[in-house]
Structure 1
Amino acid sequence: METGSPETTGAAGDEPVWRGLPPGLLRMRRLLLVLWAGLLALAVGLPLGLFAGPPWAACALLPLTAAAWCWPLLGRNWRSWRYAERADDLLISRGVLWCEETVVPYGRMQLVEVTSGPVERYFGLARIQLHTAAAATDAAIPGLAPAEAERLRDRLTELGEARSAGL
């Protein structure tokens, strides 16, 4: 994944410069996984241990086992997300089993939003949401650094206005 200049490639035959998501998104998702699995294990194990007996309290291991299984999957999913800015459009690629690549032409963008919920703000992350005329082509890039999300929003808005004015 490229971490250099966010400039687009000039010629149509050039490969796009792909950028990955920052590791803060992976840390946030893994922390939430551990938190929810721990709470669920406690919510399952405590009542079963008190009312049904200690052997039934072993059922509390199921959420912890599921969390251990999901831990590497979160890493694979995080590594699969990437985006690239090209001269005429934005590419978003994601997915491990079902790979999706979304192409959003700058001239079709109607609204570019930067959002950040309380957990995302705690981890210093933001999400960029792209809205187009067709609802099926709306796209999002989660887990960006707020400065990068704002830079991308401003650049996409500028390019969208320039491309739509030329239509």
Structure 2
Amino acid sequence: MAMNGREGAGAEAWRQVQPGLLRMRRLLLVAWLTPLTLLAAVLPPVLGGGAVWVLLPVPPALALVWAWWAAGVNWRSWRYLERDDDLLISRGVMWRQLTAVPYGRMQLVEVTSGPVERRFGLARLQLHTAAAATDAAIPGLAPPEAERLRDRLTELGEARSAGL
């Protein structure tokens, strides 16, 4: 069966990451680009710039609008699917990636959550395998879901590597 990373496989359904990831990323965009836009707007009059310098805040303001939209599109592209033998992770808009991580190849599954992620009630699941090319991560999970997934993947990985 051909899968494009956006469809379900049988009765299983793709799961999407939490909306808090989108809110967090957009807040970070605003936190970085708003001061830059304001600085670009205030600097030319202070320095006595000419008429052309009035346009200086336009690029950062446009970047903020475009990045706001792009963050939403990117957030919607993140999905994961637990199958019988592997975990599929789909992401990307222009360059779509579909990563299959076989349970038997997993060496380490960890859950991390930095201060900003914790503020938004998020955690990141990081999967490590023997081959560095297949290491994968799923950002924007609710902490209970990340822990459930870590425990399940660890259990399945141990069973598959033991040949059960």
TM-score, length of structure 2 as denominator length: 0.88
CA contact (8 A) 1:46 1:57 kept: no
**Is 1:85 aligned with 2:88?**
no
Please say if 1:41 is aligned against 2:37. Answer: yes
Separation in 2 of the partners of 1:78 and 1:159? Answer: 28
Q: Write out per-residue CA displacement over residues 64-118 of structure 1, whole angstroms, 9 at most, x where no aligned residue.
A: 1111112121111111110000111000011111111000000000000111111
Q: TM-score of the superposition, structure 1-length normalised?
A: 0.86
Amino acid at match of 1:120: E
**Which residue does the alignment assign to 1:30?**
26
User: In structure 2, which of residues 122, 127, 130 is the aligned counterpart of residue 130 of structure 1?
Assistant: 127
Unmatched segments (≥5 aa) in structure 1: 1-8
Q: Secondary structure at the match of 2:56?
A: helix
Q: Residue 122 of structure 1: CA displacement?
A: 0.7
What is the 5 A alignment of 1:40-59?
Answer: 40-53=36-49, 55=51, 56-59=53-56
After TM superposition, the runs of 4+ consecutive aligned structure 1 residues lying more than 6 A away are none
Count of residues in Structure 1 that have an aligned counterpart in Structure 2: 156
1:159 to 133, 156, 159: 156
Q: What is the Cα deviation at residue 123 of structure 1?
A: 0.6
Give the aligned residue type for 1:99. R
Q: Distance in 1 between matches of 2:55 and 2:116?
A: 31
Gaps of 5+ in 2: 1-7
Distance 1:26 1:115, change over 3 A: same
Q: Supply the RMSD in Å over aligned alpha carbons.
A: 1.8
Q: Distance in 2 between matches of 1:76 and 1:117?
A: 23
- Structure 2 counterpart of 1:65, from 54, 57, 62: 62
In structure 2, what is the Cα distance between the partners aligned to 1:43 and 1:134? 46
Shift of residue 48, structure 1, vs aligned partner: 2.9
Q: Which amino acid aligns with 2:154?
A: T
Q: Within 2, Cα distance between the matches of 1:68 and 1:54? A: 26
Q: Secondary structure at the match of 1:93?
A: strand
Q: 1:26 to 1:54 in 2, by over 3 A?
A: farther
Q: Map Cα deviations across residues 10-66 of structure 1 (whole Å, 9 max, x no partner).
A: xxx725421001111111111111111102113333333311437424312321111
Q: Which amino acid aligns with 1:132?
A: T
d(CA) in 1 for partners of 2:133, 2:48:
49
Aligned residues with identical type, % of pairs: 67
